[in-house]
Structure 1
Amino acid sequence: MSTGATVLRAARWIDIDAGQVRSPAVIVVRDGLIEAVNPPEIPADATTVDLGDRTVLPGLMDMEINLLIGGPENPSGLPNPMHGVQDDPVYRTLRGTVNARATLMAGFTTVRNLGLMVKTGGYLLDVDLGRGIENGWFPGPRVVSAGHAITPTGGHLDPTMFQKLAPHIMPMSVQEGMADGVPAVRAATRYQIKYGAGVIKISASGGVMSHSTAPGTQQYSDEELAAIVDEAHRAGIKVAAHAHGDAGIRACIRAGVDCIEHGSLAGDDTVQMMVDHGTFLVPTSYLSEGLDTSKAPPALRRKAEQVFPKARRMLAKAIEAGVKIACGTDAPAVPHGQNAKELWALVDRGMTPMQALRAATVTSAELIDAEDRGRLAPGLLADIIAVPGDPARDITALETVDFVMKDGVVHKNSTAEPGR
């Protein structure tokens, strides 16, 4: 049923396609879509929302997040290391609703929930979380869910490796992503797709915050990687790979993996390989500053000290080389609701503010094949945020989001609050 239009007025808006800040902003929204931008006439049935001296821009996107961990009870970063054996699926999903709201209120209207790393009995909690949001049961971003991350025994995303559990304490199933050998990885991939995964997440190298192999170690064989990609691509699903190490990244690119998460230790030739193959990179670079490792075991702190400086240098080279870079935080390693700090990191490593904005909008939209968002243009989804100042000049303006609209529904409007 058609409803009246809403007109958003503000001092400025960001034209992502042109890479320009334009004035003024007059955005007409109707039935969840953008109807017009700066039209010659305003619809007679319109209700006006005056956002004042603010910049309007498309809703931002976080391509590496885990809404089911972190947040309540531990807002400062990494979750309780015992959450994997203390939290049942119901409690974990309820936590996800709180984290989803915090993410939306921070101006992030689309996310990829990139891989459950917990025991669930085979339930894809992130898929159900996304369904609840889509049904309007509670506020949150649009969620592209991975289901369970697919990992080899002892791999970085093996849930028992975060707590360094003894044998048999938390046995994992193929349905929960624990898969060794080609037949098992095919079965694990098919299971996630069957129950609603919109992307497949795999563990292709060691990690930093797990008691797994060294970060650079390739964990899945070439044959296993190829089998996972084959299963996903035949179903029209993309594959994202956790990969810090150079050899693992190269193996993923050869196998046809669509997106590398982190990419910390990629060499110059591997960076160019990403460019040549059109492989996306989600660098999660703010981890270098934002990840609180103070309570991590000494061995993990040492890994972080070794990897993070190299990761910053790699990203600078990737930016210069022209790798397709999308925005992702790895929250809750960066606390939920502080997602915009990743854009600061992209700028710090060499992007212009406008390039960072593109990474969190049109490039992220391209990564998930979403042509209906990422820009302010007629016919696209009315996912719109507003911030004080001009983020094209000062990217940290995105850390203060005063207004959030998703699907044409206003979820946050603090523009009229005293002192704002």
Structure 2
Amino acid sequence: MAKTAVSSPRYSVSFAAIRCRFPTKITVLGLVLSMWLLTPPLWAQTVIYAGTLIDGTSDKPRNKVTIVIEDGKITGVSKGYLVFKKADRIIDLKSATVMPGLIDLHTHLSFELGPESYTEKFTQSTAEVALRSGVFAERTLMAGFTTVRDLGDRDNVTVVLRDNIQQGWVVGPRIFTSGKSLATTGGHADPTNGYRRDKAGDPGPREGVINGGDDARKAVRHRYKDGADLIKITATGGVLSVAKSGHNPQFTEAELEAVVGTANDYGFHVAAHAHGTEGIVRAVRAGVLTIEHGTFLNEEAMVLMKEKGAYLVPTLLAGDTVVAMAKQGGALPPVVAQKALEVGRLMRENFAKAYEMGVPIAFGTDSGVSKHGMNAREFGLMVNGGMPAMTAIQSATSVAAKVLDEPNLGTVAKGAHADLIAVEGNPLEDIAVLEKVAFVMKAGQVYKENGAPARSP
């Protein structure tokens, strides 16, 4: 990939003469003025020359395109390599494929599955969780994912992480977070599963555990109070929870309706972790926007999802990851390993059926189960399941942006956020090239170039 070419003005100034004329006031003024002059200027305009452009919405790529960026937004997308005499910065990506920043709709930035995962909740402080979350966030951005939807965290750290990324204290993607997931007592996201009651207590709506409509409404309002962007529920059992069933329904229809209705009052959409068929059907009927995993999807559930406009977020990478861990022996508790061996194959099979039936599908990995920064491996699993490469890319760009109701994300078009990535090679011919992102820009700022973290200006 060609190296970035940069041109910028130079500043020089002497305060000696000024000091002579204004000896009593110059010290503070000089310090302030010198700091301003020595601060690297913001690029007024950035021009990117893209050899190939996949814009996130069109079904065909374009060749030789000029993208103009100002104030973190795309202000122009033109055919050919236009000449700019006054552009502050020229980024030459003529040998690369340029795309919108990718969107992962299912991450867990406060967590990464490993041998100590089941004991770390007793040993890790909130500060330690938060610090590691910052590392995971940076890895995710450097992998080309400029936006994520985080679905279930510890101690609401992703709310603080989101805000500190926005304020520039931490490097990471844009985050839309649910905060803590909602569960029923003994359900998949009950934080006390598998532990002695006298040691773990009996959590309630504040901790995300509900029983009945009133609890459900209170739990949603707590998430609003905590600063969440959406609501995540665990509508069925799960794989990693220390509980026997991975697919039984765990919310009543009344509880689901209370969650969705209250969420809508606050402008939240609802994402539903759901493996089992009955739990999927109940959640979709109640009005959730996305079904996460969908392992035991059947034809009835698929038809209902199409009718209601609910999206499947398949998380195939998570299925592959837990199957591999279960086969290692000792990596997962026995009750968890048994469930893990069942889900991987079914996830892949029913993803393929859902795509063939026309169920809306949006990209999500469940990263945190898999390693953060490996998110793009999901693309290969989707393509192997029968989805064309361009459709898979759109599921992580314009389709994912539609789920978030963020039309200025997931596309390369005038007015969109300047979230861009570039890869060497053609992902339409070899989807695996998306696993080696060479260039990352978010909101007009370059975070990675020539395959390495960008140097500060």
TM class, shorter-length: over 0.9
> Which of these residues, 65, 84, 102, is aligned with residue 25 of structure 1?
65
Where does residue 237 of structure 1 map in the other structure? 268
Q: Which moved more, 1:408-417 or 1:383-392?
A: 408-417
Partner residue of 1:51? 93
CA distance in 2 between counterparts of 1:275 and 1:216 reads 22
Residue type at the aligned position of 1:166? R
Counterpart of 2:128 in structure 1 is 91
Q: How many residues align?
A: 405
Deviations 1:311-337 (A, max 9, x none): 211100111111111111111111100
Q: Deviation string for 1:264-286 (max 9, x for gaps)?
A: 00111111111111001111012
Mapped partners of 1:386, 1:361: distance in 2: 14
Deviation at residue 416 of structure 1 after TM alignment: 8.7
Residue matched to 1:259:
290
Deviation at 1:394, TM superposition (A): 1.2
Amino acid of the structure 2 residue aligned with 1:238:
H
* Residue 81 (str. 1) matches residue 118 (str. 2): yes
Name the aligned partner's letter for residue 275 of structure 2.
Answer: H
CA distance in 2, matches of 1:387, 1:330: 23
Calculate percent identity across the aligned residue pairs. Answer: 39
TM-score (norm 1): 0.93
- Equivalence map 1:261-410=2 (5 Å): 261-291=292-322, 292-293=325-326, 294=328, 295-410=331-446
Query: CA RMSD, aligned part only?
Result: 1.8
Give, in whole Å, the separation in 1 of the partners of 2:139 and 2:147.
Answer: 13
The separation in 2 between residues aligned to 1:21 and 1:55, in whole angstroms, is: 9
Q: Counterpart of 1:286 in 2: which secondary structure?
A: helix
Amino acid at match of 1:168: D
Query: Which runs of no fewer than 5 residues in structure 2 stay unpaired?
Result: 1-40
1:23 is displaced (CA, Å) by 0.9
Distance 2:290 2:58 in 1: 26
**Counterpart residue number, 2:137:** 100
Report if aligned partners of 2:437, 2:451 keep a CA contact under 8 Å in 1.
no
Determine helix, strand or coil for the equivalent of 1:324.
Answer: coil
From 54, 65, 72, the equivalent of 2:107 is 65
Alpha-carbon shift at residue 173 of structure 1 (Å): 4.0
Question: Is residue 85–residue 170 contact of structure 1 (8 Å, CA) maintained in 2?
Answer: no
The Cα shift of 1:373 comes to: 1.1
d(CA) in 2 for partners of 1:301, 1:379 = 48
The alignment partner of 2:416 has SS state of: coil
CA pair 2-101 structure 1, distance change in 2 beyond 3 A = closer
State the one-letter code of the partner of 2:189: L
Flag structure 1 segments of 5+ consecutive residues without an equivalent. none
3-state SS of 1:363 partner: helix
Helix, strand or coil: the match of 2:200?
coil
Whose Rg is larger?
A: 2
Stretch deviating more after TM superposition (260-269 or 31-40): 31-40
In 2, the alpha carbon distance for the partners of 1:398 and 1:369 equals 25
Residues 1:395 and 1:79: Cα distance change in structure 2 (over 3 Å): farther
SS of residue matched to 1:110? strand
Determine which of 111, 126, 147 is the counterpart of 1:110: 147
For 2:451 and 2:230, locate their aligned partners in 1 and report how far apart those are by CA, in whole Å.
Answer: 36
What TM-score do you get using the length of structure 2 for normalisation?
0.85
